[in-house]
Amino acid sequence: MMGNSGFLQRLNTILWAVLPFFLSLFCVMLYVAPLRLGNFTIPMPLFPFMAIYFWSMTRPEYMPYIAVFLIGLFQDLLTGGPVGLWALTYLLSVVFLSTQIEVIAGRGRSVLWAGFLLAVLIAMVLVWVFARIALGPDPAGGRLGAEMVLSLLFYPFMGRFFMMVQRATNQARRLTVTSTMVDL
């Protein structure tokens, strides 16, 4: 029985570890889902960046650079924009954020939100510059600005949701470890 419980514990650990990545991919699908009002497509908040930021600040081991790059690449492919635009933007943003993790992480929701303000501003400037290089003048700056404002408004709610997911994963891991110890 000891072999099965060890395998199940490892499997459980792996499943919880990849949850932030798959949750971020779901956020990409939410971001690209068209929301229309008549003939006007409503800009969406940057749900994928919210997930990337949250996990990079709270559990960076669950959001490695390769995952960030793949999430951005997935978004590039679904949006039909230049391939690498969001991938590079997210990756450079997270590399910068990794230098600020000591300042932001573990200091409460208001500091996490303030950090998101800085992070989303950096990400939007980067994506605007890269889009301008790839697409030429006027790469939808107004739309990017609207997405940034919406992201700032939605982040407290999404951050709270991600916090609940994080607490559930922590609790599930503790329960798995406890049940494994009882099996021994």
Question: What one-character-per-residue DSSP string does 21-52 give?
Answer: HHHHHHHHHHHHS--EETTEEPP---HHHHHH
The answer to the question of residue 180 being in a domain is: no
Tell me the residue type at 16: W
Pick the residue with more confidence: 62 or 17?
62
Cα dist from 42 to 9, 51, 143, 176, whole Å = 44, 21, 9, 43
Residue 76 pLDDT grade (very low, low, confident, very high; cuts 50, 70, 90): very high
The answer to the question of residue 183 being in a domain is: no
Domain CATH number, residue 17: 1.10.1760
Q: What CA–CA distance (Å, rounded) separates 78 from 107? A: 35
pLDDT at residue 165 in the model = 92
Q: What is the pLDDT of residues 152-180, one digit of tens each?
A: 999 999 999 999 999 888 776 666 555 55
The answer to the question of residue 182 being in a domain is: no
Cα dist from 136 to 5, 79, 88, 131, whole Å = 57, 18, 18, 7
The answer to the question of residue 181 being in a domain is: no
The answer to the question of residue 133 being in a domain is: yes
List the single range of 79-83, 101-105, 154-158 with lowest mean pLDDT: 101-105
Largest CA distance in the chain: 65
The answer to the question of residue 143 being in a domain is: yes
The answer to the question of residue 86 being in a domain is: yes
Structural domain for 6, as ranges: 2-174
The answer to the question of residue 125 being in a domain is: yes
Residue 88 pLDDT grade (very low, low, confident, very high; cuts 50, 70, 90): very high
2 pLDDT above the threshold of 70: no
- Domains: count for the chain: 1
pLDDT at residue 3 in the model = 61
What is the torsional sign of CA 99, 105, 107, 108? Answer: positive
Q: What CA–CA distance (Å, rounded) separates 98 from 79? A: 27
List the single range of 69-78, 144-153, 173-182 with lowest mean pLDDT: 173-182
3-state secondary structure of 106: coil
Which of 27, 5, 3, 23 has its CA nearest to residue 15? 23
